[in-house]
Structure 1
């Protein structure tokens, strides 16, 4: 009788610890950097970082006006492919910095978290002046069997083209 109770308590403790570690700031910050690198390099695995029913709302104020991307995974993956293609053609180099990372765990036992941060991305390409894009992003990130995935993304940025 004691053994099943102890096994159940151990499983609950492990699930709790996994949730706590999955949404720890160093883990989330590292995952954000890796996702950003995959997205900017054109790695198709960046699309795998989104759930199938992701909700996306991007607003960018650039030198040539304002543009928006709204929709789901198809729109987000299309946007990532276009951005990566532009960076490839320009042979651009990017550098991203993430600041003010805030994580609020949600859905006991912490199956998701609301992550907000400021991002500053510098883009350099030969023959063009360097551009700096500043953004404020808010993500809802969920734990899955394969790792963290983005359930929703809201982003406002300024700078760039």
Structure 2
């Protein structure tokens, strides 16, 4: 008997309480803060009369007074000069094989070429291992489609960071 009363008491406190809405509604006059946009028509005067045929004077070869092209060109030249020694950009590639068998690496390369004909798989010898890498991508999002295609055929395919040369 005691456990039933305890459970009933606990359930009573766990039940959601009903909120009662107030019967009075909120009402406040904000008209004193509004701008007055009343339209009052003003009779046109001789000074504000509309000109029907304005005379247009043609001005040729106007020189700008605040031209910044020279400043921008100098800043652009500084940026180009500072970037001349950069020959690569950080990106990604897909590695589908890493092992010490050259024949296996060449087999993986030909299978990858059959799957992705627009990409050029390459075998890299990093002593003592051969690695087969596919594609050069600037972002993971760009590599995602090819990665999913290769992952279906090569379970060990992995997306790895790589440096992409700017000039081949």
Scaled by the length of structure 1, the TM-score of the pair is: 0.22
**Larger CA Rg, structure 1 vs 2:** 2
TM-score, length of structure 2 as denominator length = 0.22
